[in-house]
Amino acid sequence: MTSLVLLRRQMVEIGRRLQQQSLIVAAEGNLSVRLGGHAFLVTPSGVGKGDLRVQDLLEIDAAGRCPRGRPTSEWPLHRRIYEARPDVVAICHAHPPWATAFAAAGRDLDGSLLTETAASLGRVPVCARAEPGTEAAAASVMPYVRNHDAVLLGSHGAVTVGRDLPAAFALLETVERLAQVTLLAAIARGEGGALPPGLS
């Protein structure tokens, strides 16, 4: 079993990569890992993920009790996913720009567009828009997350799950690449529409 010390270092590293790759800005995004039983490791609220230190990470229980610090405001989303998916060990939520553009447009992503995502990813559905951090936002994901490891959050971002944090992060990277190629392929087919004024 991965030690808690290693998990903390891993979470700090992935937070740094999220920011380096512009998958988040400022204090956006959140990460969590199931520790076993009813315990979880989560990122704190209001801290840039690229600036995280191992001591910033917080332990929280399923009821949301956190002995110290202020955990991510998106804990209801993480909690509901862990309840619905006992197989999930880690969750990554971010605002990758290409994928978030599809989320804002209310458009699913079709993994069959690319050979490398056809079998591994499939469809990435978009759920209804809801206020982030609320039970309504958490509930909006439930119809999809039972059968999908990646979901777009309406006008918000994306959430991915995995057997560990590196797997959840890798899936987020894959979703972002799929979104980028989907839009570029549409433009290449002449389906992109007119460019905004000043860009033509």
The number of domains in the chain is 1
194 falls within a domain: no
CB 114 within 8 A of CB 124: no
Query: Considering the chain, what is the average pLDDT of its residues?
Result: 94
When pLDDT is averaged across residues 148-153 and rounded to a whole number, the result is 98
pLDDT for 191 equals: 82
Name the token pair of 191.
């389906």
pLDDT for 196 equals: 46
pLDDT for 192 equals: 64
42 falls within a domain: yes
pLDDT for 2 equals: 66
Range of the domain at 54: 4-188
Burial class (CB in 10 A: 0-12, 13-18, 19+), 138: buried
- Percent of the chain exceeding pLDDT 70 equals 94
195 falls within a domain: no
C-alpha neighbours within 13 Å on the C-beta side of residue 16:
10
Edge-to-edge strand ranges of the sheet holding 126-127: 58-61, 39-42, 30-36, 90-94, 157-162, 150-153, 126-127
CATH at 21: 3.40.225.10
Lowest-confidence region among 32-46, 105-119, 183-197: 183-197
pLDDT at 193 over 60: no
154 falls within a domain: yes
Active site amino acids: 74
When pLDDT is averaged across residues 124-135 and rounded to a whole number, the result is 96
200 falls within a domain: no
In terms of pLDDT, which residue wins out, 119 or 164? 164
193 falls within a domain: no
Place of tokens 């790759």: 21
146 falls within a domain: yes
β-pairing verdict for 109-110 and 90-94: unpaired
pLDDT for 37 equals: 84
When pLDDT is averaged across residues 8-26 and rounded to a whole number, the result is 98
199 falls within a domain: no
